[in-house]
Structure 1
Amino acid sequence: MSHVVVVGAGLAGLAAACHLVGDGHRVTVVEREQVPGGRAGRLTQDGFTFDTGPTVLTMPDLIDRPLRAAGSSLAQRLDLQLLDPAYRGFFADGSTLDVRHGHAAMREEIHRECGSVDAAAFDEFVGWLRRLYLAEMPHFIDRNFDRPTDLLARPRAAAQLLGMGGFGRLGPMIRRRFTDERLHRLFSFQAMYAGLAPDDALAIYAVITYMDSIEGVFFPRGGMRAVPEALAGAAADAGAQFRYGTSVTDLLRDFSGRVRGVATDDGEHVAADAVVATVDLPTAYRWWLPDVRPPRAVSGLLGGRYSPSCVVWHLGVKGVPEGKVHHNIHFGHEWAGAFEDLLKKGTLMGDPSRLVTVHSLDDEEAAPEGHSTLYVLEPVPNLEVGRVDWEAQRGPMRERLLTFLDAAGYPTDVVTEQLVTPNDWQAQGMAAGTPFALAHTFPQTGPFRPGNVDRRVPGLVFAGSGTVPGVGVPMVLPSGRLAAERVRQLVG
């Protein structure tokens, strides 16, 4: 039985552990925190519990897959609630639009708010999105690549994507389909998940729009933190060992450079036949592989491009917001100009759009009676392109967000809070101070993205948002499976 060490109990590491233990390996997961989750973490403070990482959960079948690999299932481990509406969009003219679950409900919403022409356009849009997903997911997302020419192994799927306009630009594609500008924003803001402005993102990233706008957004009973707890529980029940509160300080390598295990901060050397590392790729190379030149895209100095970062403000407040749903997107007047500020000028958005998630509306454990948790996210430049002094701007940013919340009708009697800036993300080991890793530009997508193996360091496999297939919960879960597949190739 081969022994595999997984470094990090985030979603990618937990998915990898489930698949590895299902393959018959002896698995040890080493996690520096006291609980599983990684970036999908939790904060308990003054009687409030906050989910500190991703707030939007889509495609639950991607969670079921590693659970089943470990001998469990989604039905056994998680109680999921469908959120309908998935989002409520608030616009600068005072209007609102809901993203409703199901074709018929969303079509009716568009017909009522935007008119019959856009409602009819939505019918074709849904069909296009489904075809895009079916061509993209199995052939270009959920598979390993060894070289760019591997794209040619799926010529029919590649030709289909090309014929569907998948390699055009997302923003113009949305504008060609819909006349109402609010729909342009509602169906293209997802490009930010890929680290790009809608006018720069490839149309293939409309697959993210498909995942949340068509397939639906869910919320697990017990909060988003229930997802890593479920995966960790399934892996442990199947035999995986977890070592919480332990940090990996180095990789153990033999005279040939092959990885043979890890060293931990308690002085132990843990031997392994393979190691799966889920820390940010640039951090892994900087900490553990100083003698190995990183792939080009891993370092901004060598041509890589990182996604924007964000400020997240966790607030526990007195009162419950009215007229709000679980996920609320507040769009500013500006659109193209705001992305110019963020991505090119490296400044705060002059007229930002923001996400406010109110977990406590659907999580009875999140806040005391009569109180709420607010998760307020504003996109900001990453530390490579940004010109923001976050030590000086922490206080002003708090006041900026407080003013916004008050104007938007949220309760603002703050009981407890934590403000997270790019400096904080960087201190957690995230390159360029962004939790969203490398942007999904064409040279950093698919086989051009840093691979999950480096042939110069046999025995080491990467997983997580910095490698294939990419950023976000629906990407890092397959990343764990792809890493397990690599281990299978390495040690059988």
Structure 2
Amino acid sequence: MARLVSVVVIGAGLSGLAAACHLVGRGHEVTLVERHDAPGGRGLRLHRDGFTFDTGPTVMTMPDLVGDALAAAGTSLQDALPMRLLDPAYRARFDDGSQIMVRHGVEAMREEIAATCGSVDAAAFVDFADWLRKLYRVEMPHFIDANFDSPLDLASSPRAAARLLRLGGFRRLGPVIREWFRDERLHRLFSFQALYAGLSPESALALYAVITYMDSIEGVWWPEGGMDAVPAALATAAGKAGAELRFGTSVTRLVLDRRGVVAGVELDSGERLRADAVVCTLDLPTAYDQLLPELKPPRVVRSGTYSPSAVVWHVGASGAPAPGTAHHNIHFGADWDGAFRALIDDRRLMPDPSRLVTVPTLSEPGLAPEGDSVLYVLEPVPNLSSSIDWTHEREPMRERLHGFLTANGYPDRILTEELVTPLEWQQMGMHQGTPFALAHTFLQTGPFRPGNLDRRVPGLVFAGSGTVPGVGVPMVLVSGKLAADRVDAYLPGPRPRPQADRGRR
């Protein structure tokens, strides 16, 4: 039997946890090292004054990708991470006071559009949903869940690329959505997801409508206990399958042998862990700065276009929101195009911002004292490449958000709070103060995005939003699996039967 191959995973965010689950399930000897005292990465849970805040992603889509990682470690999604579907997935509220609920299921959403936008757009939605599904079926196996070594790898799937071209995936998202629907509110509802990719709908490729498919068609889910339950379940599964989890410990440098090949890591305690391979989930510029200071980062890492950032206000408030408030609420500003020009082109605050308000206590009342609410308020803002001085802008931003809560029926008597600006994101190790990494421009997408290997350091593999396939909960989960695939390719040979499978036969 071949010896166990040792792998160190740096970081217990979703990409690192997914990588650890896949690796330990394939028979590798895995040690996961995390500087915080619990799993979660940038979504670490915060407890304050009786309130519980999930500080990372709030929208859970594509739970089967979590299920894949859990299953790799011998745990089922149903047993480890019970979830319930949120219906509506979102409440969309517009500047004229109207609203549209994003309902689950094509027929339910068709009826919602018929009631709010008319029969023509309702009929169009049925075909639109079918188009989204076709996009997803082409993109996921060929362009998302795939490792690339160079742009020439696109030629390995010529039929898929041709199909994506026929579907209009290389056109611009905004114009494509306008061709599907008459009502301007639907243009916004089905294209705002471009912002997840760090772009405006007018510049994002239509292939990013796959994000719309993930939440508007497949649905948005709520894990019992809150979003923190996702990293907690993955960490538990990895540990049960045999991975060693080392919390409250930081990696200070990579240990390389005389050939420049990965040989392990050194911890802040001075201890060295031997490893045949290392999976690093730090934001790429931070990874090169802290762990590879002698190497010049790839050009796109140094000088690529980084996504806008976000101000996130975590609020513990007295009382409940107005009737009709949903778990997720998107408030669209009036000047849609002008807001994107300000944010992305001019790198200034949106003059008429759109905002997301998540109220997790509507689904999980135990996150707050009885009768009170947890609010997650997000406004997109420029990253730190702008001229905004957040030491001075912080309080005016808070006051504007407070006024927004009051005007829109949310509880506004603040009992506890935490305001996160681009400065705080930067302090967490995120380049240019954005948690969304490199924008998904054409030349920063797929094989053009920074790869998860640096050939100068054999045995080092990257995972997370800065590398392939990109930003968002589904993408970083896939990123962890792709990193595990890279480790397997780097260390070929027979594997012992995965620990998670032993005793089943």
Give the alignment's TM-score, normalised by structure 2: 0.96
C-alpha separation in 1, matches of 2:267 and 2:321: 46
* Structure 1 residue 398 corresponds to structure 2 residue 398: yes
Residue matched to 2:282: 279
- Once the two structures are TM-superposed, the CA of residue 291 in structure 1 deviates from its matched residue by 1.7
The answer to whether structure 1 residue 422 and structure 2 residue 425 are counterparts is: no
Q: Quote the offset at 1:252 in angstroms.
A: 0.6
Match of residue 468 from structure 2: 468
Counterpart AA for 2:375: L
Partner Cα distance (2:244, 2:364) in 1: 30
Query: Counterpart of 1:315?
Result: 315
Q: Following superposition of structure 1 onto structure 2, how do residues 67-86 of structure 1 map, counting pairs within 5 Å?
A: 67-86=70-89
Structure 2 CA distance for aligned equivalents of residues 409 and 66 of structure 1: 40
Which residue does 1:189 correspond to in 2?
192
The letter of the residue matching 1:121 is A
| Equivalent residue runs for 1:27-106 within 5 Å | 27-106=30-109
Q: Which residues in structure 2 correspond to 1:109-188 (within 5 Å)?
A: 109-188=112-191
How many pairs align?
A: 488
Q: Provide the rounded CA distance (Å) in 2 between the counterparts of 1:159 and 1:362.
A: 43
- Which residue among 5, 10, 15 is the counterpart of 1:7? 10
Confirm whether residue 207 of structure 1 aligns to residue 210 of structure 2. Answer: yes
Distance in 2 between residues matched to 1:124 and 1:404, nearest whole Å = 36
Structure 1: runs of 5+ lacking an equivalent = none
2:459 maps to 459
The answer on 1:369 being equivalent to 2:370 is yes
Output the CA distance in 2 between the equivalents of 1:236 and 1:364.
Answer: 29
Return the alpha-carbon distance in structure 2 between the equivalents of residues 82 and 24 of structure 1: 34
User: For the residues of structure 2 that align with 1:468 and 1:197, how far apart are their CA atoms?
Assistant: 21
What amino acid does structure 1 have at the position aligned with 2:333? G
Structure-to-structure mapping, 1:237-248, within 5 angstroms = 237-248=240-251
The Cα of 1:490 is off from its aligned counterpart by 1.3
1:461 partner SS: strand
The amino acid that maps onto 1:359 is P
Q: Show the counterpart of 1:380.
A: 381
Distance 1:296 1:67 in 2: 35
Q: Which residue identity is paired with 1:362?
A: S
Could you tell me the percent identity over the aligned residues? 67
**Which residue is 1:338 aligned to?**
339
Aligned-pair Cα RMSD in Å: 0.7
Partners of 1:29 and 1:363 in 2: CA distance = 30
* CA shift for structure 1 position 365: 2.4
In the alignment, the residues of structure 2 paired with residue 366 and residue 387 of structure 1 have an alpha-carbon distance, to the nearest angstrom, of: 37
Any idea what the Cα deviations from partners look like across 1:79-133, whole Å, max 9, x if unmatched? 1010000000010001000000000000000001000110111111011000000
Distance in 2 between residues matched to 1:490 and 1:444, nearest whole Å = 25
Tell me how far apart the structure 2 counterparts of residues 110 and 471 of structure 1 sit (CA, whole Å). Answer: 29
Offset of residue 192 of structure 1: 0.6
Q: Distance in 1 between matches of 2:81 and 2:377?
A: 26
Take 2:45 and 2:198, find their aligned partners in 1: how far apart are those partners?
A: 24
* Aligned equivalents of 2:233, 2:335: Cα separation in 1: 41
- How far apart, CA to CA, are the structure 1 residues paired with 2:337 and 2:135? 26
Partner of 1:39: helix, strand, or coil? helix
How many angstroms does 1:364 deviate by?
2.7
Task: Specify the SS of the correspondent of 1:382.
Answer: coil
> What CA distance in whole angstroms lies between the structure 2 residues aligned with 1:156 and 1:127?
19
Residues 163-209 of structure 1 show CA distances to partners (whole Å, capped at 9, x for unaligned) of 11100000110011100000000000000111100111000000000
Q: Distance in 2 between matches of 1:388 and 1:81?
A: 40
Q: How much has 1:76 moved relative to structure 2?
A: 1.2
Q: Which residue of 2 aligns with 1:434?
A: 434
Residue 324 (structure 1) aligns with: 325
How big is the shift at 1:253? Answer: 1.0
Where 1:139 maps in the other structure, the secondary structure is helix
* Structure 1: distance between partners of 2:7 and 2:212: 36
SS of the residue corresponding to residue 275 of structure 1 reads strand
Moved over 3 A (4+): none
Amino acid in structure 2 at the alignment position of 1:337: G
Shift of 1:62: 0.5
2:365 aligns to what SS in structure 1? coil
Equivalents in 2 of 1:75, 1:443: separation in Å?
39
The one-letter code matched in structure 2 to 1:422 is P
Distance in 2, Cα, partners of 1:407 & 1:364: 23
Instruction: Name the CA distance, whole Å, in 1 between partners of 2:343 and 2:475.
Output: 24
CA distance in 1, matches of 2:8, 2:115: 54
- For 2:222, the equivalent position in structure 1 comes to 219
Tell me which residue corresponds to 2:351.
350
Separation in 2 of the partners of 1:107 and 1:342? 32
Matched with 2:502 is none
Measure, in 1, the Cα distance between the counterparts of 2:452 and 2:307: 19
For residues 451 and 260 of structure 1, what CA distance do their matches in structure 2 show?
Answer: 21
User: What is the letter of the counterpart of residue 431 of structure 1?
Assistant: H
Q: Deviations over 1:445-481 (max 9, x none)?
A: 0000000001011110000000000000010001000
Unaligned runs of 5+ in 2: 493-505
SS in 2 for 1:346: coil
Q: Deviations over 1:223-271 (max 9, x none)?
A: 0000000000000000000110001111111122111111111111111
Task: Give, in angstroms, the shift of residue 409 of structure 1.
Answer: 1.1
**What is the alpha-carbon distance in structure 1 between the residues aligned to residue 305 and residue 62 of structure 2?**
27
Amino acid at match of 1:473: V
Matched, 1:296 2:315: no
CA–CA separation in structure 1 for the residues paired with 2:74 and 2:371: 40
- Counterpart of 2:41 in 1: which secondary structure? coil
Equivalent position amino acid for 1:318 in 2: S
Q: TM-score, normalised by structure 1?
A: 0.99
- 1:432, 1:87 → 2: CA distance? 30
The corresponding residue for 2:445 is 445
Distance 1:345 1:243 in 2: 43
Amino acid at match of 2:138: A
Q: Say which SS state the counterpart of residue 374 (structure 2) adopts.
A: strand
Cα distance in 1 between the residues matched to 2:92 and 2:270:
52
